[in-house]
Structure 1
Amino acid sequence: MLDDLDAVLEEEEQAQPAVTRHRNRGRGGRSAIAFFVTLVLLGLLAGGGWYAYSKVKGFFVDDDYAGPGGAEAVVEIKTGQSATDIGTTLVQQKVVASVDAFTNAAKDNSRSKNIQAGWYKLKVEMKASDAVAALLDPKNRWVNKVTLPEGLSYQQTFQKLSEATKIPVAEFAKAAKDPVALGIDASWFKRSDGKPVNKTDIEGFLYPATYDLSPKADATEVLKTIIANFNSEMERLEFIPTVEKTRGGISPYQALIVASIAQAEALKDVDMPKVSRVIYNRAYTDFDAGCRCLGLDSTVNYWLRISGKNVKPSEKLTQADLHNPKNPYNTHDKPGLPPGPIGNPGEAALKGAMSPTNNFPYYYFISIDTKGTMAYGKNGAEHDKNRLKACANGIPLC
């Protein structure tokens, strides 16, 4: 383009003598030629400039799709990722056109700091600002949500998890055989009362809560998520140091067993510390010196449940059920606490077991109405009176 302009100017120089002889006429011709050449040059420069701009515009303006997007794209946002990290992930899956477009869109959206880790259903070729908005919309999160209520057994927990994730119960049972590998510290499996501990028993460690589980997780990863939450909650509650400091040599595992029993026996949070104290009184004082047996139907029913048999209300439990010598959870004949937890206790029950009610010299408890109101007795005579109250209120015990 510049070579063509040089050729025109050279021809103009060669015509100089003629211009000298006819100065006025030549000057007008030269001006016309120069004007024409200028127009041509500007046109060429304009066309070339646009071509060049189209090639380098990415250096000055962030590439971005026009949107709204097409095919579905499933994207995982990981814990701790920065906006740049997220943008890189989205570019790799062709959700956004450039990392800079996404990071700039995130800067423009004050809520972008609220983007949570997890799996999202987005679209290919989204406008960056739309991608940010989509990551902030809970409707686009792809999770398996499951709520584990307080008091479920491990079998009931596996069933709930299976329903939410479509992972077979058998896979959860297999993964649960090594709680230490799932994140439970081996120091948990200790007792100070001389009874053995089953280190393959995950009961008590499946903390009740609502979980958002990765749709890509297998049974092991799901259980690790729940165990991690258990560990976090124990640390928050200061469960281990509190038990070791205040419970007179009782191990945290024993306190966990007490919490699981309180969870099964008491309906109201206010009763958890009182029921826990009754359990401690029965197991570790002079109560029933011949046995020191807890005498609880909840432990008998736990054995029936995990043995694949039907759980029964107290009035339907037979003497054979209550005094089965083959039942390790038979607390009517076997002294002290059962072999392990009988369910997974929640926060109120855990607090009750780690800090039971002080100066509470009671050895009996019973629900005396359908609302779960508890009454306590210091001896058998007081307990019998409370039973009559329960019967009068429609509780089928008489």
Structure 2
Amino acid sequence: MSDDDLDLAFENAEDRGRWRHAKKKGGKGRTFLAFTLVILLLGALGGVGYVGFDKVRSFFAVEDYDGPGSGEVAIEVKSGNTATDIANTLYKAGVVKSAAAFVDAAKDNPKSKDIQVGSYLLKKEMKAADALTMLLDLKNKNVNKITIPEGLISLQIFDRLSKATGIPVDDFKTAAKNPQKLGVPALWFKRKDGKKVNTSDIEGFLYPATYELPRDAKAEDVLKMIIKNFNREMDDLDFVNQAAKLNISPYEALVAASIAQVEALLPEDMGPVARVLYNRAYTGKFPCNCLQLDSTVNYWLRISGKDPKASENLLAKELHDPKNPYNYDVKGMAVGPISSPGDVALKGAIDAPKSDYFFFVTIDKKGTMGYGKTFDEHKANIQIACKNGIPLC
């Protein structure tokens, strides 16, 4: 079709003015109809109008749960976490309804900065302020808390760890067979006196302290935590370098500390007792160059599944048992630690005050130690002990 045909077609139609006018009349009708429909629609939606408004308003408001929550969920607060980091963790775990609610709660509570690193047990769908309160309460930490006192042997420690965590003792025994895998540096398994170190012996490395153990931790995880603490303590004491100044290996100093921990009852005697051990083992001035200690003999009884005995009850065959590598007659420093020494004993071992003493004995019920250079002086101290009610005579 040509352009002329289009024009003709249009010319044969109704008058243009009349068409536009008619359309205008129709527009008024349609406008009125549309207005009427809108009125009717708004009327129909009147019942839900507030709901729509509320949704719009909630878009700008902070969403928060009203209730105290229910169930249980573990939350991990990591080192360096900000309030926003913690808020996001809580939101993803379903604890709070929005991260913003927790951030606001943290802003309103000055104590929020005191939240400690660790795992916590919270509830699902909690009010943000309540979640913050639970994070500030250490009772909600998702841990098994245990204290390892000074002087225990590894078997005793495994038993305590098992009771605290529910992990079988055998699991700890198995994990403990490879101390280096748990984090003990290889340098600890060397000696300067020529004696071989048992690299599968964890004794002495289980540092006594209070630990918070994650409830889902395995035996290996627990022991790694304890060894990590041991390493940190050794660094703080500069133990390796200080032992070198005594011309002994750190392992030999650890052995001395473990013995001093058991033998000395008072903190001030840890160092002097360690010096007596060094004098006996290394100076060549003690008749047998051996330790001759009941505590080492009793250690062997313990790890052999037997009960330890009071000094006066130990038999000669037990003191000199050739099958016991910790017996009275073994020359030099003991072959290994006999306990887990604490901070004071460790310090005493690397800072043992110089003396000419070769003997020591507890002389009263307060734990006071008496020292002697000769056996006669030692016998005199034993008599003092007996007079003070110490059962040695």
Q: Which amino acid is 2:384 matched to?
A: K
Looking at structure 2, the residues matched to 162 and 236 of structure 1 have their Cα atoms a distance apart, in angstroms, of 29
Is 1:166 paired with 2:166? Answer: yes
Q: How far 1:373 moved relative to its partner?
A: 0.7
- Shift of the alpha carbon at 1:56? 4.2
2:155 — aligned with what?
Answer: 155
Q: Deviations over 1:154-198 (max 9, x none)?
A: 000001101111111100000001111111111111100000011
Q: In structure 1, which of residues 363, 373, 381 is the aligned counterpart of residue 376 of structure 2?
A: 381
Identical residues among aligned pairs (%): 55
Residue in 2 aligned with 1:209?
A: 209
**Cα distance 1:13–1:233, how it changes in 2: closer, same or farther (>3 A)?**
closer
Match of 1:346 in 2: 342
Letter in 1 for 2:54: S
Per the TM alignment, residue 88 of structure 1 is displaced from its structure 2 partner at its CA by 2.3
Counterpart Cα distance in 2 of 1:319 and 1:12: 120
Does structure 1 conserve the Cα–Cα contact (< 8 Å) formed by 2:286 and 2:358? no
Cα pair 2:279 2:286 within 8 Å, conserved: no
Where does the alignment leave 5 or more consecutive residues of structure 2 unmatched? 1-24
SS in 1 for 2:122: strand
The residue aligned with 1:18 is: none
Going from structure 1 to structure 2, the CA distance change for 1:349 and 1:178 (only over 3 Å counts) comes to same
Give the Cα–Cα distance (whole angstroms) in 2 for the partners of residues 114 and 350 of structure 1.
33
Shift of 1:328: 0.6
Quote the residue 1:367 is aligned against. 362
Quote the residue 1:264 is aligned against.
262
TM-score, normalised via structure 1 length: 0.85
Farther-moved stretch of structure 1 (262-271 vs 182-191)? 182-191
User: Deviation string for 1:10-49 (max 9, x for gaps)?
Assistant: 46999xxxxxxxxxxxxxxxxxxx9x99999998999897
Give the root-mean-square deviation of aligned CA atoms: 2.7
Count matched residues: 367
Aligned partners of 2:261 and 2:53: how far apart in 1? 71
Q: 1:318 to 1:46 in 2, by over 3 A?
A: same
Amino acid across the alignment from 2:92: Q
Match of 2:188 in 1: 188
8 A Cα contact 2:363 2:384, kept in partner: yes
Cα distance change of structure 1 residues 194 and 13 upon mapping to structure 2, 3 Å threshold? closer
Supply the distance in 1 between the matched residues of 2:169 and 2:79 (Cα, whole angstroms).
28
Q: Bigger shift: 69-78 or 43-52?
A: 43-52
* Equivalent position amino acid for 1:263 in 2: Q
Q: CA distance change for structure 1 residues 48 and 370 in 2, over 3 Å: closer, same or farther?
A: same
> For residues 272 and 13 of structure 1, do their structure 2 counterparts lie closer, same or farther at Cα, with a shift above 3 Å needed?
closer
Q: In structure 2, the residue corresponding to 1:222 is in which secondary structure?
A: helix
1:17 corresponds in structure 2 to none
* Counterpart position of 1:334: 330
For the residue of structure 1 that corresponds to 2:371, the secondary structure is: strand
Relative to structure 1, the CA distance from residue 13 to residue 262 in structure 2 (aligned partners, 3 Å threshold; closer, same or farther) is closer
Secondary structure at 1:387 match in 2: helix
| Structure 1: segments with no counterpart, 5+ residues | 1-6, 15-33
Normalised by the size of structure 2, how large is the TM-score?
Answer: 0.86
Q: 280, 287, 292: which one pairs with 2:285?
A: 287
SS of 1:111's partner is: helix
Change (3 A) 1:388 1:125: same
Q: Deviations over 1:43-89 (max 9, x none)?
A: 89998975554344454222211122223333333344332332222
1:122 corresponding residue in structure 2:
122
In 2, the alpha carbon distance for the partners of 1:75 and 1:56 equals 32
Residue 102 (structure 1) shift:
1.2
